[in-house]
Amino acid sequence: MTRITPEALYRLLPAVHRLRDAGEGGPLAALMAVLAREGAVVEENIEQLLDNLFIETCEDWAAPYIGGTIGYRALYEVEGVQVGTRAEVANTIGYRRRKGTAAVLEALARDVTGWPAHVVEYFQVTATCQHMNHVRPGHALAPRLSDPLPLESLDRAFDRTLQTVDVRSIQQTVSRRSLGGRHNFQNIGLWLWRLMARGSTRMPVTAVDARRYLFDPLGAPRQLVNLPLPEATITSISRPEHVPGDISRRALDADPALWYGADRALALYLDGEFVPVSRIEACDLSDDGPGWNHSPHTALPEAELRLREGTPLPDPLLPPDPPNAMIRIDPVLGRIAFPDAETREIRATWHSGFPGRIGGGEYNRARTLTRDPGQALVLYPGPDHVTLQSALDAVAAEGGIVELTANEVFAEPAALRAGAGTEVILRAANGLRPILRPGGPLTLEGGAEARLALDGVTVEGAPVEIGPDGDGASPATVTLRHVTLIPGLSFTDTGAPATPNATSLAVSAIGVELLLDRCITGPIAMDETTNAEIRDSIVDAAALVPRESAAALAISGPGLEGDPAGALTIRASTVVGRILARVFPLVSDSLLHARSESGAPVRAIRRQQGCMRFSFVPHGSVTPRRYRCQPQLAIAEAVAEAEEGGPVTDADRAQIIARVSRAMRPGFTSQRASDPAYLQLRGVAPREIRAGASDEGEMGAWHLLAAPQREANLRIRLEEYLRFGLEAGLFHET
């Protein structure tokens, strides 16, 4: 459809009116511009009405209405998650035609939850007697112990080992440690991968020495995971290459081309050149004293190699054997070993597991990468600036944006400074994960009414310090969005915090409005006048032993241990460690995992102001009034139940409090920031915490994933698509 422009509409007027209008300053031309703008709005709306007739192009609000024409039943809305009804409505008719088949159940699980899924029909892996007229050679009761690769999937999604009948209900299973009730003829298992594959494209590697390297530029061991391939047909059942599962050493050895490649889960580049798969060898490179197991030896000349092995020299008339120059990769530890000292630049593409899109990375952040008209934009690296600091200095006086445009480790000092009334932003371009290694504190300074922001970057080895400028003026606002300030400042070679309990973010400026949005950070020390909002983020005290992190200080004042932080607003976040603040205006849908041998784990100086709602707040905390918080709510219910049988003494009340407090604790899959399932709630965690938020989601930073709602939607759909007589169970592979 041709767009109506002001010029085209103006030319429709008679020439006499246009000449007269030009002489009077163009009021008709201005009117035509207004009419054209409003006409464009109507025209666009007409086009959208046509698009709304089709599920592929309709707006989100129209998808349920299109589904209503085919009898589609709407599910619970999941806000903020890339899960919707569009794909399910588009495939509903096809699903109904193949209702009850394993392929439909698997595709349905993917569409409804947004998680990769695999369906297991347990009658196929239940041990049965075979009829001699229908012998199934692959239906062997005992596994082949000589082939260890299939045994790696034991008690997991792709386990094909036969087991005897289990008559317990498959729906009673809540974790992989209690997998009873699966193997029976009427049972269907739906395995879900909740961790996404977080990519790192052509990132620098960490050198241990001239021959040994780590995939992770932060120096932590990483379990590499698969980048899922699309399935060939809609009627097929997923295989390991179709899900973001862990890559094992034996799997990489069995078929390197399935996992290694320029468009696959991992790849190596030397001076920008792709290393072919023929040079890659899977190996166990775990620690062996000061070195690594099975590190490749230096490539020897062919004659010397034959002499050492005691084998005859090759026939000169035959083609030579390939050189002994294999590069060994350990996908379990994320390690690389070269046969010789490597002098070329080494980069790697790899993927690791992570629960969600926080802390920065190569996921889509386009919605937050805005730019005001006339705002300066400086790209770095670029021809105009040789250092990052020079790029930041270029926008310090008038304000502007410095955008990092490469997956690099920027090991150079940097300081953000903003003049009075200006805004300075240091951010990563969309789809990138740059790392700042400043060598000293990364300082953020600003004059009066200045605004500073970090977006999409990872800071390693140093804290971020927010302070006044040279004249003593403080910035008005500081925003950290999609930022990782590594808990413990950096990682050791085992993935532990290198500097336990070290402050990651220090605010010494006065009166700063601080916002942390989808960030991961270590302990925070802020001035008492700071007003901080923590949203969809993780604050980790990062003790050397993870279970001791809850006893360390996570948020407090910048001075002695008794100094409080400012006003804290915490929304849908996880804080591991003790908190001491001036006031809590609002704590909602959050998980404050803290303990203290003496004193309150979470303490507010002013208790008359603020509110805590739908959150986990440790017993014994000194806080404002709480509404439906745990374990307080569970304690009140247990006491009320005990009072129905008669008066409850103080001793009985203390016993109830101790019993409920021990049971009502959050359980995490891992509390180490370098692990894939970082602060992910375990399946055996109390349901009051896993589904105790205001929208019946889980408390804490992963509230944004809406995991309980997604599982509830899948169970609703199974009632419609599961064949009569069958029973389904949901299992978390990750």
- Percent of the chain scoring above 70 in pLDDT: 92
> Where is pLDDT greater, at 646 or 413?
413
Q: With a cut of 50, say whether residue 227 has pLDDT above it.
A: yes
Show Cβ contacts of residue 148 under 8 Å, excluding neighbours closer than 6 positions: 250
347 DSSP assignment: E
The count of C-alpha atoms lying within 13 angstroms of the C-alpha of 89, restricted to the half-sphere facing its C-beta, is 26
Q: List own/partner pairs for 238-243 with CB under 8 A and 24 or more apart.
A: 238/106, 238/116, 238/117, 238/118, 238/119, 239/158, 240/158, 242/116, 243/116, 243/117, 243/118, 243/157, 243/193, 243/733
* DSSP assignment string, 162-216: -B----S-GGG--STT--TT--STTEEEEEE--SEEEEEEEEEPEESSSSEEES-
In this prediction, residue 175 carries a pLDDT of: 47
Tell me the average pLDDT of the chain: 85
- SS3 at position 396: helix
Query: Is the bond into 381 cis (omega within 30 degrees of 0)?
Result: yes
Of 193-197, 247-251, 304-308, the range with the lowest mean pLDDT is 304-308
Q: Which of 22-26, 306-310, 336-340, 360-364 has the lowest average pLDDT?
A: 306-310
The H or E element spanning position 235 is none
- pLDDT tens per residue across span 47-72: 778 888 887 788 877 877 777 777 77
> Residue 498 above 80 pLDDT?
yes
pLDDT surpassing 60 at residue 601:
yes
Q: Which of 603, 626, 608 is nearest to 616 (CA)?
A: 626
Instruction: Give 235's pLDDT tier (boundaries 50, 70, 90).
Output: confident
pLDDT at 172: 64
Distances 160 to 9, 139, 226, 711 between C-alpha atoms, Å? 70, 9, 20, 25
What value does the mean pLDDT take over residues 618-646? 88
* pLDDT tens, residue by residue, 695-707: 888 999 999 998 8
3-state secondary structure of 529: coil
- Please give the average per-residue pLDDT across 454-482, as a whole number: 91
Residue with tokens 């588009």: 90
pLDDT tens-digit series, residues 261-282: 999 999 999 999 999 998 899 9
- Is there a contact between 327 and 280 (Cβ–Cβ < 8 Å)? yes
User: Between residues 596 and 573, which one has the greater pLDDT?
Assistant: 573
Least reliable range by pLDDT among 85-89, 299-303, 587-591 = 299-303
One-letter identity of residue 68: G
Strands 346-354, 196-204: parallel, antiparallel or unpaired by DSSP? antiparallel
Length of the chain (residues):
734
Q: Are 321 and 309 in contact (CB under 8 A)?
A: no
Kindly indicate the confidence band of residue 3, based on its pLDDT and cuts at 50, 70 and 90.
low
The confidence score (pLDDT) of residue 332 equals 92
pLDDT of 173 above 60:
no
Average pLDDT over residues 8-18: 79
The confidence score (pLDDT) of residue 82 equals 53
Q: Are 55 and 16 in contact (CB under 8 A)?
A: no
Tokens of 386: 């040789």
Q: Are 379 and 403 in contact (CB under 8 A)?
A: yes
Q: Is the dihedral of CA 616, 619, 621, 627 positive or negative?
A: positive
- Kindly report, residue by residue over 118-162, the tens digit of the pLDDT: 998 888 888 888 888 888 777 777 778 878 888 888 888 888 888
Compute the distance between CA of residue 253 and CA of residue 329 in angstroms, rounded to an integer: 10
pLDDT exceeds cutoff 90 at 295? no
pLDDT at res. 250: 92
**pLDDT of 513 above 90:** yes
* 316: confidence class by pLDDT, cuts 50, 70, 90: low
Read off the tokens for 681: 């709630």
Task: Give the mean model confidence (pLDDT) for residues 331-350.
Answer: 92
